[in-house]
Amino acid sequence: MVIHIAKKEFLNNLLSARFIIGFLLCLVLIPFSILINVGNYQERTAQYRVDRDQAEKNFAEVRVYSQLRPEVVLAPKPLSIFSKGISDQIGNRIKIWLGTKPMLAAGKTASGDNPFLASLFSIDFVDIAAIIFSLLAFIFSYDALSREKEDGTLKLQMSNPLARSSCLAGKAVGILLTLLPILVFSFLLSALLISFSGHLSLTAGEWGRIVLLFAASLLYLSVFVFVGLLVSSRSKSSVTGLVSCLFLWVFFVFIIPSIASNFAESFVRVESRENLNKVMQDLDRELEAKYSQALKAQGIPEGWSCFWCNSGSDGVVETYGNSRSEFDLFRRRASISEPIRIDYADKKWALQKAYVDSLASQSRASERLSLASPTGIFRAIASFICATDLRTHEQELDWLRQYRETYIRFLRDQNLFDSFRWITPTSPESFRTQDELIALRTGGEFKTEKEFDAWAAQQTDFRARWQKLQKVKVFGDTPEDFPFLNVSDIPRFQDRPESLSAGLETSLIYTGILIFEMIFLFSLGFVAFIRYDVR
């Protein structure tokens, strides 16, 4: 009997204007969404390649190890064309520093204090599907019982030996069978557009995730069908059912997600970025003080003199053309400063982690509050499936922090902090004394540094000193005298490909919530239908 009722419901709906309108609506909106997001993915992929090539160029074109700062550029997620999640709101470039651990990726971020929340305002396939599929579910179910009551056919059916549970189940199955072709069409059309785009090639695992997204969409659709049947079983007329369903649709799809985001921003405290920056500055000053004390204890002067120097943040020092004693002072300073810098990165991370955790807590609070709506659950499941969720991003940052430890371990194993290679490519065997360098650069005009300084003191133009020292070009005085470092043996970050099951544990929990809602709503609908006056 359930099959007969489902077949009747399916055929009636299939020939109705609402089915044609719903089908045409998906025909227009779904391709529009996919084409826009495929184009967006192509742009992000093109920018990713530019950023990656530039990062590789910067990494390879260095001459001293102190300048090596690996930069990792994360590739865009292919399935972001279905669900952007937070992928459009966060950066994709992470530089590996010695003095700090990776906290947040650099690059494009959304406006606002918490980029993890900005994903609520993105428009993609899942957002359109969440709106359209839920609306279609209500359109086909709001009058499933009340319409037949008004026509008198429901009273006639109940006069036969037909269980009300069978009638309700048949209605539900019939409506789902009506909506299933629209759902299948939407995904097949999306798959065809992706396949023929020519710019996107999905792996077998990613196609598998699309199948999982289809299953989640079907569950989501079913929840709203059961809500519509519950409303219909409690409505005395179709108009009342329509008004009630429209109110519930706006409430579940738009109001609850917005309230969840606003509540999270208002009541879940986020650590101040300004305070964090101030504390970081205090730690930097503390680091400098400790470094100065360590230099003083070793009898090493803080300032330096050099023939050619280049310095930067995070302990970058590159120098050429110095005497043996000056090179040695640079080396000793680096052997003291860099281990201290790395130690302070751990101190900084305790505070940085508290800040990042507060951002994540606010985002998770918004996500949990949005679970009050099937739409919130569906969006969360979709972001998990498409690997554009916060947890996936946090995992990537964890891998990058592990890579930083691997990189630092390599530097220590090679004893580079205490090596001349850290600050100059000049071979220690070619180091000269200051007197030898003065004699070479002046073409023998001066034999010692003392003679040269006495001459320089008599010059009124301070530039005369440097002009004299450039009289003869000495090999090793400039960077161009040396090739770039061979970086082939340096460990590189390896991006880990997503497997079909990776990161889906939480989505299974949320899927379980949708299934529970389906069972609960059907039970409520059944109880309401038992008491429903069919006359």
Mean pLDDT of the chain: 88
Residue 171 has pLDDT above 80, yes or no: yes
User: pLDDT for 394-403, tens place per residue?
Assistant: 999 999 999 9
Domain-embedded: residue 450: no
Q: Where are the beta strands (DSSP E) in 250-335?
A: 308-311, 317-320
DSSP assignment of 76-105 = PPGGGGT--TTTTTS--EEE--SSS---S-
Give the pLDDT score at 183. 94
Residue 509 has pLDDT above 80, yes or no: yes
Which residue in the block uniquely carries the two structure tokens 């994709």? 92
Q: What confidence tier does 501 reach under pLDDT thresholds 50, 70, 90? A: low
Residues 6+ apart with CB under 8 A from 292: 302
Report in angstroms the alpha-carbon separations of 429 from 231, 240, 407, 422, 432.
Answer: 88, 93, 28, 16, 9
What is the DSSP pairing of strand 308-311 with strand 71-73? unpaired
Position 15: which residue type?
A: L
User: pLDDT for 9-54, tens place per residue?
Assistant: 888 888 888 899 889 999 889 888 898 899 889 989 999 999 999 9
Q: What confidence tier does 369 reach under pLDDT thresholds 50, 70, 90? A: very high
Taking each helix axis from N to C end, the angle separating 164-195 and 2-14, rounded to the nearest 10 degrees, works out to: 50
Residue 501 domain boundaries: 2-273+351-409+491-530
Residue 243: phi and psi, rounded to 5, are -60, -45
Whole-number percent of the chain with pLDDT over 70: 93
Q: What confidence tier does 111 reach under pLDDT thresholds 50, 70, 90? A: very low
Give the pLDDT score at 529. 78
Give the pLDDT score at 3. 81
Instruction: Name which of 67-71, 104-108, 185-189 the model is least confident about.
Output: 104-108
Give the pLDDT score at 49. 93
Domain-embedded: residue 343: no
Q: What confidence tier does 119 reach under pLDDT thresholds 50, 70, 90? A: very low
Q: Which two tokens stand for residue 366?
A: 């918004």
- Cβ contact 65:314 at 8 Å: no
Residue 120 has pLDDT above 70, yes or no: no
Beta pairing partners, 72:
94
Instruction: Name which of 230-234, 355-359, 373-377 the model is least confident about.
Output: 230-234
Mean pLDDT value of segment 309-321: 92
- The CA distance from 206 to 243, in Å, is 40
Alpha helices in 268-323 (DSSP H): 273-297
Residue 431: phi and psi, rounded to 5, are -60, 145
Q: Which of 133-147, 294-308, 408-422, 464-478 has the highest mean pLDDT?
A: 408-422
Mean pLDDT value of segment 347-368: 93
Q: Is 471 helix (H, G, I), strand (E, B) or coil?
A: coil
- The CA distance from 232 to 228, in Å, is 6
Domain-embedded: residue 485: no
- Cβ contact 417:65 at 8 Å: no
The pairs formed by 199-204 with CB atoms below 8 angstroms and a separation of 24 or more are: 199/38, 199/41, 199/42, 199/45, 200/38, 200/41, 200/42, 200/78, 200/81, 202/78, 202/79, 203/497
Beta pairing partners, 94:
72
Mean pLDDT value of segment 279-301: 93
- The CA distance from 53 to 75, in Å, is 12
Domain-embedded: residue 59: yes
- How many C-beta atoms lie closer than 10 Å to residue 373's C-beta? 23
Specify the DSSP class assigned to residue 429. G
Specify the DSSP class assigned to residue 446. -
- Cβ contact 235:248 at 8 Å: no
Tell me the whole-structure pTM to 2 decimals: 0.88
Q: Tell me which of 122 and 468 has the higher pLDDT.
A: 468
User: pLDDT for 410-459, tens place per residue?
Assistant: 999 999 999 999 999 999 999 999 999 999 988 888 888 888 888 888 88
User: pLDDT for 223-250, tens place per residue?
Assistant: 999 999 999 888 888 889 899 999 999 9
What is the DSSP pairing of strand 317-320 with strand 308-311? antiparallel
Which candidate, 311, 339, 474, places its Cα nearest to that of 411? 339
Instruction: Name which of 31-45, 173-187, 215-229 the model is least confident about.
Output: 31-45
Mean pLDDT value of segment 308-312: 90
Domain-embedded: residue 415: no
Task: Give how many domains the chain has, as a whole number.
Answer: 1
Domain-embedded: residue 440: no
Q: How far is CA 178 from the centre of its chain?
A: 37
Domain-embedded: residue 234: yes
| Maximum CA extent, the chain | 122
Residue 71: phi and psi, rounded to 5, are -120, 125
Q: Which two tokens stand for residue 11?
A: 């055929």
Q: Is 505 helix (H, G, I), strand (E, B) or coil?
A: helix
Q: Which two tokens stand for residue 28?
A: 């227009």
Domain-embedded: residue 46: yes
Half-sphere exposure (Cβ direction) of 59: Cα atoms closer than 13 Å: 21
Residue 121 has pLDDT above 50, yes or no: no
- The CA distance from 356 to 278, in Å, is 16
Whole-number percent of the chain with pLDDT over 90: 59
Q: What confidence tier does 343 reach under pLDDT thresholds 50, 70, 90? A: very high
